[in-house]
Structure 1
Amino acid sequence: MAQPQAAAPGESATTVGAPRTAAEARAAVTEAAEQGGVAGDTGDVVIETRRLAKQYRGTLAVDGLDLRVPRGSVFGFLGPNGSGKTTTIRMLMGLIQPTSGSARVLGRPMPNAARSVLPRVGALIEGPALYGFLSGRHNLLRFDAADPTADPRTRKARVGAALERVGLAAAADKKARAYSLGMKQRLGLAAALLQPRELLVLDEPTNGLDPQGMREIRALVRELAADGTTVFLSSHLLDEIEQVCTHAAVMARGRLIAQGTVAELSAGSRGRLGVTTPDVAEAARLLAARGLTGLVTEEQKVIGELPAEPPDLAELNAELVGAGVRVRGFGLERTSLEDTFVALTGEGFDVAG
């Protein structure tokens, strides 16, 4: 597994004016979470960690993690590759011991209570480990037979239903070694769905899938959540988290940056104004003078973040026109989870779904 990379914050485009600091972004997210009462409430949680840490050869892969996953949520665990997500999940599932701190899953301490907790949890971590010489169907039959809580009388029916659910019914009798990466991901997910679970933990579940497969997995996650299963979904794809999750946490270089509902996290970044014009340089100069920060200039557009006390937009538009700026488009733009992540960490990563 890749170790966290200590990447310095960077910029992805030409900027004008002072960018918003990570401290300001963190404060905004924390304030939103406190007002919403989600991140800090005392309601039922299925995963809770306190100062959880894991060290490898002097490097902190996970550093003092305080995480709370509400029951019934679709919780996105977000961060670039190497941020500590998989290490955290392996500690939650009792696969590795933490260096310090504690973790509770379904109200029980892990890894001490693994024997009682894991039968209630379905998991797909770092891709499935399959028997290549067996068919997809016989892989699932073997996995189910190894589960002491599984009823052998319903085994074949449950395996068939799981294959159907992930779209592998037609390929069920092919050898697993002939499966593509996306098909192997689907089979691993089917293994996690052989029995009803209170908690489903998915580590990069759409890895290797084509766009149609990714949409199908998202639809399946929503269906499982509607049935009452809490889904903990790790991903480095911002768009994936934003489309399917109700709550999210942001990791960077082994540390938790922020957590809350997806709406709260997006709201933690101030609104942005976009101005479409061929006079980019002059428009950027005037917007910076009126307090907009983090200005990004494109070929015929300027995008900037509004200050805490934004100017009157009608007056700002009139000022641009009065200064000879040919305004072809002017308006507020939706703040995305990508904007929040960049504001919090200064980093960017895959945003395509």
Structure 2
Amino acid sequence: MTGALDGLRIVEFVGLGPAPFAAMMLADHGAEVLRIHPPARRSDIATMDSPADVLARSRACVSLDLKSGAGRAMALDLIAEADGLIEGFRPGVMERLGLGPAEGLSRNPRLVYGRMTGWGQDGPLAARAGHDINYIALTGVLDAIGPADRPAVPLNLVGDFGGGGMLMAFGMLAGLISAARTGQGQVVDAAMTDGAALLSAMIHGFRAGGAWGPGRAANMLDGGAFYYGVYACADGRFVAVGAIEPQFLVALLTGLGLDPAAFQPQDDRTRWPAWRACLAAAFQTRTRAEWLARFEGVDACLGPVLDWDEAQAHPHNAARATFVEAGGVPQPAPAPRFSATPAPRPSPPETDRRDPAVILARWRGR
């Protein structure tokens, strides 16, 4: 059975991180994505272009010298037959190659031209270098994450992949729906600063409503609340607690052997540090396995903090096939799930370069 995006054709100019992630998401659900590499490619990331390059899964690739007239012409021919294009270079790079939106849309007026950058296509910082941590720092998001004494680095999930790749994939699909309806393509300007800011929409609402104060580890969802955070157990392993609602908090405290009446009102922030210390001491009396056994079947919003290997083996993840294997490489399965058109199973990246003329002829023959 084909995926929900079967029939869509996307040209991807290969870059790093968020742009390949967006292309991967589209390929995961059936789009035919063709990756264009330069003939000689150097990367500081050891796994890139290897069987372990999960972000390159399920896609064919071709080598084109985009600095040559023949290479540019072939790229434009491919673009002319595509529904969309994804690139993740700094503003102006594609224009200098003669492959910018003006050239692409003149050849293919229904083309959706996706541009993935950190700062966006315009603005004072548009031409500056940066990485995930720089982008989320500019939005206020980084300042809100971590313990009270300093911000913590949340991997590169907020800027690169949440605010970047996922917003790019959403933008591409919105543009493709519009093009199918109107026959007119357009440019999608997906900036990681914009996307990271968008991910913080709820927190801005909390701030406006007086439910979120300044500082880190001082609010309900940032580790400040005693009922929402991570606790160490006797064996040095951790559990995650999210007992926000009163009934879940009662179940949590009762399971810990504590008197729920002594922790009221639960949103008295002046008492959170003392109550957190009380829960920390309680959790230190048993191992993680013992606490999980104690709370088995209890709705207390308590669960284990799993490492990568434990997560893949957990019964819930195993039952849902949340992780799969492609080419011997364990990796997350495509998401989300569709009832009528399940996503194709991921395949390893095709590291052998295809002949672009053969692909073009097939695309034209559809």
> TM-score per shorter chain, which class?
under 0.3
Flag the structure with larger Rg: 2
Which structure carries more strand by proportion?
A: 1
**TM-score of the aligned structures, taking structure 1 as reference length:** 0.26
